[in-house]
Amino acid sequence: MEYRKLANGDKMPMIGLGTWEAKPNEVYDAVRHAIAEDYRHIDCALIYQNEETVGKALKDALEEGDVDREDLWITSKLWNNAHKPADIAPAIKKTLDDLNLNYLDLYLMHWPVACKNDIIFPKKGEDFISLDEIPLSETWEGMQSFKEKGLAKHLGVCNFSQKKLENLIENTGITPEVNQVELHPYLQQNDLVEYAAQNDIIITAYSPLGRGSVPKDSETDHPVLIENDTIIEIAKELDASPAQVLIRWAIERNTIAIPKSTTPKHITSNLDAAHIKLTGEQMNRIAELDRHHRYVDGSFWTVDGSPYTMENLWDE
């Protein structure tokens, strides 16, 4: 396994198991199988609504001696309804309780979006809170005590543009250690990746395989990346799967990939991407695939009356 080393020497595995959209009745077996297959990085979030089941899998794996806690890298995320400083500590406490852990290896601010404390997923404008009322810097500073208290070893953000990263650093003087964003050959975000490298911010790629379950009737708007001809051709050249090519592409760019799956065969195969290499010529062919296409475009935050727009969400 390859790793990204953080400033304190901790090592973050470059392939992890994503648990987004994993149903509670499936995620237990997925996590146990992943750990048995030598995954050491599990990516979670409170909003995934499966952390209790992930926690049971972690507890059982630890108690049965499948892995030691210090060898695991567990990530979770602060949800949008807990951006007020008073709500941040209860949020991480719930996550730790659900995951049966004393600490997280990494805790991330899930979105640069805030909503009212009693709202899980905003449906109308009045459910939101603007960033003028709760600045991202206020939430970010509120998260810092977790490192001092030993609740989270590392802190970062998700879905942050370069502009939002720059503003956060300028306003707080504290650089996120990680920025988790959608990243794949159809959304390569080269400028953001370069900026992160220059500022010692690790980029984690979610949806590194695109979205394989996109309905056929919407394929025009949401192309199925894993079926791309170039990716398939390169997979044949390497005697690998298209998914392995996409995961390896992320690693070759020095970013971390967290493909999600609950299928044992795919979980094992995805980790085997660590054993293939892409040539410079193959990387160049993949570079030509960029469409700036978001599968997770954030439009669900831009309902009527919301203070969030596609422009101020992505700063594009």
Residues serving a catalytic function are 48
d(CA 259, CA 34): 12
d(CA 217, CA 195): 37
Give me 49's structure tokens.
């609504």
290 Cβ neighbours under 8 A, 6+ residues apart: 185, 186, 187, 188, 190
The alpha carbon of 201 is separated from its chain's Cα centroid by a whole number of angstroms, namely 14
Nearest to 45 by CA among 82, 2, 15, 70: 82
d(CA 252, CA 246): 10
d(CA 187, CA 254): 16
Which DSSP helix (H) or strand (E) runs through 106?
strand 106-109
d(CA 138, CA 111): 14
Q: What are phi and psi of 261, to 5 degrees?
A: -165, 150
